[in-house]
């Protein structure tokens, strides 16, 4: 009986999640790539606020690790005609970038001579 109740509960949760994802997709506030969901609330904020909001909802700031994930982030950049913060920072070595957790980047898609540290990157 407990197993059946748990299975029903899980099915209900999956249904609710699916409906929410569907609504957010219709509103163009969520997109997926490689099993990951990329979402935005569409609000402009500074880096620290963005980082905090992502953590509050159980996610993390976007870090593209392949062309598909890069395209998912670019989708929002184009939709909102705004820059997007990435979970990437400059290391102690100038012009050497890494993920926020300190691991080396395995994928980049920057224009020649970028990031340059000039303007909004």
Give the tens place of pLDDT for each residue, 51-97.
998 888 888 999 999 999 999 999 999 988 988 899 998 888 877 88
Q: Tell me the per-residue pLDDT of 4-38, one tens digit each, with 9 for 90 and over.
A: 889 999 999 988 887 777 666 656 788 888 888 89
What is the DSSP secondary-structure string of the chain?
-HHHHHHHHHHHHHHHHHHHHHHHHHTT-EEEETTEEEE-------HHHHHHHHHHTT-------SHHHHHHHHHHHHHHTS----SEEE-SSTT-EEETTSPBPS---PPTT---SSS--
pTM of the model: 0.72
Q: Which two tokens stand for residue 115?
A: 């990031």
């Amino acid at each position: 009986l407990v197993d059946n109740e748990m299975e029903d509960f899980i099915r209900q949760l999956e249904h609710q999640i699916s409906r929410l994802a569907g609504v957010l997709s219709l509103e163009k506030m969520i997109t997926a790539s490689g099993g990951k969901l990329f979402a935005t609330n569409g609000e402009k904020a500074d880096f620290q606020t963005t980082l905090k909001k992502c953590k509050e909802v159980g996610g993390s700031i976007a870090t593209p690790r392949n062309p598909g994930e890069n395209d998912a982030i670019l989708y929002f950049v184009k939709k909102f005609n705004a820059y997007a913060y990435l979970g990437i920072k400059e290391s102690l070595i100038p012009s050497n970038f890494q993920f926020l957790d300190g691991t080396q980047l395995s994928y980049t898609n920057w224009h020649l001579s970028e990031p340059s540290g000039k303007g909004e990157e």
